[in-house]
C-alpha cells in the first residue's frame, strides 16, 4: 500500500510538472531595453531569459527571400511587394538590420533550449503559400532544427501544407480561432493557438483539445488577469509580450 501511495504521488507530481503552462515570447523578448519586435536581439533575449519558445513572423519578399518581420509594411514599403535589398536598407526601430530567416535560424541554433515558433504569414495565392512553406521547411532542415521549431499560421492552406510536407511529428497550430478542436484534429493540426478573447468564449475547448491530444496556446496575453486566467485554466502555452510577468506568475 505504501509503495502504491508513493507511486501515485510521484505520478501526480510528474503530471503536474508536465502540465505547467509554458511561456512563449511574442516576436521575441522585444520589451527588453534596446530590442525590437522580430529582431535577432529579441530572440537572443528570449533564449537568455529561458522561455519555452520565441515566436517570429515570416514573410517572402517580392524577389523570394524569406525575412523575419511582421509586416505587411516595413517603413513605407509593403514587405511582400518589395525586393529584399530595398527592405534591408531600411533599419528596424532599434537600428538593427531586418533579419533573413536564415540569420534567425543561425541564432536559434545557438541555444535550442528555447524553441523557435515560426508563424508563416498569409500570402496572396495558394501557389505562393505552398512555396513559402516548402522553403521554410527546407531552411529548418538545413540547420538541423526540425525538433526545435514549431509552426503556426492563420491560413488553413499554410497549416495544411505544413501537415502534408513537414516531417513526421511536425507541430502545427492554427491561429484563426474559427475551427473547433475536432476540426483541427481532423486536419492533422497538433494544436490550437487562439486569441484570448476566443478562448474566454470557449473555455471548454481547453479540455476538448487535451482529450484529443492537441495543445492549447493563447495569444497575445499581456495583462496579469488574463495571464492568471490562462494559468488557472491549464493552457499549455501563453504567447506574451510580457514574458517576465508570465514567469513571475508561474514562480519562475
**Of 119 and 148, which CB lies nearer to Mg ion in the complex structure?**
119
**Of 56 and 87, which CB lies nearer to Mg ion in the complex structure?**
56
Minimum distance from CB of 57 to Mg ion (Å)?
Answer: 4
Q: What is the full DSSP assignment across 55-72?
A: EEEEEE-TTS-EEE---S
Cβ(227)–Cβ(246) below 8 Å: yes
Cross-strand partners of 191: 173, 215
CA-to-CA dists, residue 32 to 44, 109, 196, angstroms: 11, 21, 24
**Of 44 and 121, which CB lies nearer to Mg ion in the complex structure?**
121
Minimum distance from CB of 7 to Mg ion (Å)?
Answer: 42
Minimum distance from CB of 220 to Mg ion (Å)?
Answer: 8
The rounded distance, in Å, linking the Cα atoms of 68 and 58 is 5
**Of 154 and 208, which CB lies nearer to Mg ion in the complex structure?**
154
Residue 78 neighbours by CB under 8 Å, 6+ apart: 71, 72
Minimum distance from CB of 119 to Mg ion (Å)?
Answer: 4
| DSSP 3-state of 73 | strand
Helix (H) or strand (E) segment spanning residue 176: none
Of 105, 243, 119, which is closest to residue 173 (Cα–Cα)? 119
Q: Which positions lie near Mg ion, rule CB under 5 A?
A: 57, 119
Residue nearest to Mg ion (CB): 119
Minimum distance from CB of 68 to Mg ion (Å)?
Answer: 10
**Of 27 and 44, which CB lies nearer to Mg ion in the complex structure?**
27
Minimum distance from CB of 43 to Mg ion (Å)?
Answer: 13
**Of 57 and 236, which CB lies nearer to Mg ion in the complex structure?**
57
Residue 113 neighbours by CB under 8 Å, 6+ apart: 47, 50
Cβ(23)–Cβ(238) below 8 Å: yes
Amino acid at each position: 500500500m505504501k509503495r502504491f501511495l508513493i507511486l501515485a504521488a510521484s505520478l501526480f507530481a510528474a503530471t503536474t510538472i508536465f502540465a505547467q503552462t509554458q511561456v512563449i515570447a511574442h516576436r521575441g523578448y522585444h520589451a527588453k531595453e534596446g530590442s525590437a519586435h522580430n529582431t535577432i536581439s529579441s530572440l537572443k533575449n528570449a533564449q537568455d531569459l529561458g522561455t519555452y519558445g520565441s515566436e517570429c513572423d515570416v514573410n517572402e519578399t517580392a524577389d523570394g527571400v524569406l525575412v523575419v518581420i511582421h509586416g505587411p509594411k516595413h517603413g513605407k514599403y509593403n514587405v511582400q511587394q518589395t525586393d529584399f535589398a530595398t527592405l534591408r536598407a531600411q533599419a528596424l526601430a532599434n537600428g538593427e538590420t531586418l533579419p533573413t530567416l536564415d540569420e534567425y535560424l543561425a541564432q536559434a541554433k545557438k541555444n535550442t533550449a528555447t524553441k523557435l515558433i515560426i508563424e508563416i504569414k498569409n500570402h496572396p495565392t495558394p501557389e505562393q503559400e505552398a512555396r513559402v512553406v516548402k522553403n521554410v521547411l527546407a531552411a529548418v532542415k538545413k540547420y538541423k532544427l526540425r525538433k526545435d521549431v514549431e509552426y503556426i499560421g492563420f491560413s488553413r492552406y499554410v497549416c495544411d501544407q505544413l501537415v502534408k510536407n513537414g516531417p513526421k511529428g511536425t507541430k502545427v497550430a492554427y491561429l484563426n480561432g474559427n475551427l473547433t478542436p475536432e476540426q483541427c484534429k481532423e486536419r492533422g493540426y497538433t494544436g490550437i493557438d487562439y486569441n484570448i478573447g476566443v478562448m474566454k468564449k470557449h473555455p471548454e475547448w481547453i479540455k476538448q483539445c487535451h482529450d484529443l491530444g492537441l495543445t492549447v496556446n493563447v495569444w497575445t496575453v499581456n495583462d496579469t488577469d488574463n495571464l492568471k486566467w490562462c494559468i488557472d485554466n491549464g493552457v499549455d502555452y501563453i504567447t506574451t509580450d510580457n514574458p517576465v510577468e508570465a514567469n513571475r506568475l508561474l514562480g519562475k
